[in-house]
Amino acid sequence: MDYVKTAIPRQERLFYGADYNPDQWQACPDVLERDIELMKEAGVTSASVGIFSWTSLEPEEGIYEFAWLDRVMDRFAEAGMFVFLATPSGSKPMWLSEKYPEVRRVDKAGKREPSGWRHNHCLSSPVYREKARAINTRLAQRYQKHPALALWHVSNEYSGECHCQSCRAAFQAWLKARYGTLDALNEAWWSAFWNHTFTDWSQIQTNDLSMDGLQLDWLRFVNDQHVSFMREEMVPLRELTPDIPCTTNFMGTHEGTNYWQWAEHVDQIANDLYPLPDDRANTWQHAIRADFIHSLMRGMSGGKPWMLLECSPSSVNWGGINKLKRPGAHRQEVLQAVANGASTVHYFQWRKGRGGFEKYHGAVVDHDGSNRTRVFQDCAAIGAELASLRSLVQGDCPVAEVAMIYDWESRWALNTSCGPKELAGTGPFPSDLYTETCFDHYEALTRCGIAVDLLSTRSDFSGYKVLVLPALYLLSEELGERIRAFVQSGGQVVATCLTAYVESSNKCYLGGFPGASLRAVFGIWNEELDNLPADTRVEVRGAVEGSAKDVVERIHLDGAVSLAQAGSEFYAGEALITENDYGNGVASYLAARFEMPALLAFYRRLLEKASLCRSIDLDLPEGVVFRCRDSSEGRVGFLFNYSNQSREVEFGKLAMAAYLDPQTTYSGTIELAPYESRILRV
């Protein structure tokens, strides 16, 4: 079909829609028409189409059928809506999987997986790369001029690893390119330990838990393989549709993917996030963790708008206990993303399927197919509200005064080391001791009203007042020099336990921790680390009081002054929080994983000492958070009650107008219902 290309208009409002699977309903042509009607009623602007549609597009090798997709694309264009057209590599056709078994992954035990499931193709397979490129080329050729095409949704939630011989050979070649010689590799991996010295590249396995250097490089290699596969998928898309942006959906703090590297190769940052409904007393803490992930996406986009490509308007079906979202929680999750810079909100999924693994997963349209459900009515109301927020679509998020580094390589290096302490995260967010420490400090800063930008180790942090380094375990000499220069020129750095233990190959620094030439900056010497049972606490006394858990370092002052000391254990009286003047700046060190009261006390002290500005000059109650974002009409504020309890906010003499109703002004004492969100003019 020959289409006359029309320019995709500049995004004039927030994109709003869902993953849509019309290929599953080809036997019911009336469903497409009904869906178009319901989408218009709900304020939908766009849909991701074709994510798991490979067999519907190519039922036999080299035989293509596009009629069903033509109808979908045409109807969306006629309705004035857009399509985020997916490349279908996220799940393999059965004919491909059975005819070419080498595209199926091999597990760590050497067993090849059967056909089925999803996200499980071998990243090194030439066959799979060739077949994916072929179908992508066909899609780009056919729809390159179609007016509904607004975005390429490249594959879906890339993840996992393969240990086949092809991947092993590719890993060995990757190592040879990285190290050059076996002598250099053996030195980097400290392979003489347990007599693991390699004398030939072919001896190197893909999995050996006794070699932390190998494990770290394997994670890097798998990440690079994903990026390579993604970039190869985009080649025909960018050649044939250079004006159509490409993205893929990230998964927040997913353990096996270094999204800072991925972000360099996509045109739009996009993420999937499913904060599971939680009606416990600490539900607001989970909401702040969702903010952390949104801030991570905002950091990857350089403060520019990003896309929430998957969330659920209701419950999921894979969470063990799949609670419904309480009234207000769904709207709040959407506005959270918008407040943190999202320009797109898409759900998984638009319409519930009749069968399969996700037939009970939340959707805008339930099995009854009507517009009368609570969820549909919620979604329609949100669609109307997002349409009224069109002034936000080109607005960036204000740059914060405080930056925090989140580093997958530090996470990997700590997790692949045998010790210091394993700690599994809790709740819906993939986590570990490294990420839990980052969450802790982000929550404390948020509760103090301090906005935070999340950065990578390669980001420019020179313009910030404060740089926070939670458990930055792997720290290069080059980054150490940048941190030293930051402090010397007047910045304040906050580092925690487990900072600068190892260099890039996971070898420990010599000369005492922190390494990377940072001992003089912090004015301390970290002698040893105490790993505590889960129910053990260490008292903290001094200018900051509270308790510490999980890990506590024994540090010695070497120029720094002690702000707080241990009040229990054999190291009672020894420094736990220090401060060191260095050049024109200050370096603080927190030698434990502190519980929240101590962290709040520390950051409230920092707020005053560093003359930081709060997001809003109010003392907000527990569970209430304020965010702001720029728009074409000025700054917009979002006041959230993340708690499942009512909260009172004392505005005092401050007064703010409702964004959508300027005649309504909030001042004095206002009450926020559970999960209530208000949008304000700042």
**Active site residues per annotation:** 157, 310
* Pairing relationship of beta strands 538-542 and 561-566 according to DSSP bridges: antiparallel
Closest CA to 65 of 26, 29, 117, 97: 26
Considering just the CA atoms, what is the radius of gyration of the chain in Å?
26
Q: What is the DSSP letter of 190?
A: T
Distance, in Å, from the CA atom of 500 to the CA atom of 480, rounded to the nearest integer, reads 9
Residue whose pair of structure tokens reads 């004015």 in the numeric block: 523
3-state helix, strand, coil in the chain (%, to 5): 35, 25, 45
Burial of 357 (0-12, 13-18, 19+ CB in 10 A): exposed
**Residue 371 CB contacts under 8 Å (≥ 6 apart), including other chains:** 38, 41, 42, 377, 380
Q: Which helix (H) or strand (E) holds 542?
A: strand 538-542
Distance, in Å, from the CA atom of 336 to the CA atom of 675, rounded to the nearest integer, reads 11
**Residue 473 CB contacts under 8 Å (≥ 6 apart), including other chains:** 410, 411, 413, 414, 434, 498, 499, 500, 501, 502
**Residue 183 CB contacts under 8 Å (≥ 6 apart), including other chains:** none
Is residue 79 within 8 Å of residue 32, measured between CB atoms? no
Distance, in Å, from the CA atom of 494 to the CA atom of 481, rounded to the nearest integer, reads 15
Is residue 624 within 8 Å of residue 665, measured between CB atoms? no
Burial of 208 (0-12, 13-18, 19+ CB in 10 A): middle
Give Cα separations from 117 to 22, 112, 113 (angstroms). 20, 13, 10
3-state secondary structure 167-180: HHHHHHHHHHHHHC
Task: Tell me if the bond preceding 514 is cis, omega within 30° of 0.
Answer: yes
Under DSSP, is residue 445 helix (H, G, I), strand (E, B) or coil?
Answer: helix
CA 652 to chain CA mean position, Å: 36
* Pairing relationship of beta strands 342-347 and 306-310 according to DSSP bridges: parallel
Distance, in Å, from the CA atom of 18 to the CA atom of 347, rounded to the nearest integer, reads 4
Is residue 164 within 8 Å of residue 124, measured between CB atoms? yes
Is residue 274 within 8 Å of residue 428, measured between CB atoms? yes
Distance, in Å, from the CA atom of 54 to the CA atom of 93, rounded to the nearest integer, reads 6
Distance, in Å, from the CA atom of 243 to the CA atom of 231, rounded to the nearest integer, reads 17
418, two tokens: 């045998």
CA 142 to chain CA mean position, Å: 33
Distance, in Å, from the CA atom of 630 to the CA atom of 634, rounded to the nearest integer, reads 6
Angle between helical axes of 212-240 and 182-189 (0-180°, round to 10):
120
Under DSSP, is residue 573 helix (H, G, I), strand (E, B) or coil?
Answer: coil
Burial of 73 (0-12, 13-18, 19+ CB in 10 A): buried
